[in-house]
């Protein structure tokens, strides 16, 4: 998460039994934008996936998770500096330390990205 610490500015968070929702703002001053398309900066999809995984760990109350696969990743519109998003994470299955989550990044203009993550949990080890 270290590389993402300054990129994502977290806001309000809601944790449910099988869902997690948080607001997040993209830091327009993050150094990433100096090198990632300087004339038209956007947040790389890998950063969106990484932040979703981080939020799943937060929702899991500190369990260390490892993303096993990303069977689906759809990026509908660019995520740009200063953008405010809502991240919704819904756990669709979890058994024996294995989980699957559907993660949606929503902006005022609609869905910016949808990612499905399959992960394993280390149970707080």
Task: Give the span between the Cα atoms of 101 and 118, in whole angstroms.
Answer: 7
> What are the structural domain ranges in the chain?
2-121
* Mean pLDDT taken over the chain: 89
Q: Which helix (H) or strand (E) holds 56?
A: helix 45-59
Using one digit for the tens of pLDDT, what is the confidence trace for 37-81? 888 999 999 999 999 998 988 887 767 788 999 999 999 999 999
Give the pLDDT band (50/70/90) at residue 123.
low
Q: Which CATH class is domain 2-121?
A: alpha beta
Residues recorded for the chain? 125
CA angle 94, 98, 99 (to 5 degrees): 50
Give the pLDDT band (50/70/90) at residue 92.
confident
Share above pLDDT 90 across residues of the chain, in percent, rounded to a whole number: 64
112 pLDDT above the threshold of 50: yes
Give the pLDDT band (50/70/90) at residue 17.
confident
125 pLDDT above the threshold of 60: no
For residue 121, what pLDDT is reported?
Answer: 81
Partners of 26 in beta bridges: 8
Q: Cβ(64)–Cβ(97) under 8 Å?
A: no
Share above pLDDT 70 across residues of the chain, in percent, rounded to a whole number: 92
């Amino acid at each position: 998460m270290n590389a993402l610490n300054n990129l994502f500015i977290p806001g309000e968070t809601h944790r449910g039994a099988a869902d997690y929702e948080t607001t997040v703002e993209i830091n327009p001053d993050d150094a990433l934008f100096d090198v990632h398309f300087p004339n038209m900066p956007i947040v790389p999809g890998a950063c969106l996936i990484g932040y979703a995984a981080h939020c799943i760990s937060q929702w899991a109350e500190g369990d260390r998770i490892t993303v096993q696969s990303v069977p689906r990743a759809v990026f509908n519109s660019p995520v740009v500096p200063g953008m405010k998003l809502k991240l919704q994470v819904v756990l669709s299955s979890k058994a024996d330390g294995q989980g699957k989550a559907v993660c949606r990044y929503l902006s005022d203009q609609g869905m910016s990205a949808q990612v499905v993550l399959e992960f394993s949990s280390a149970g707080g080890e």
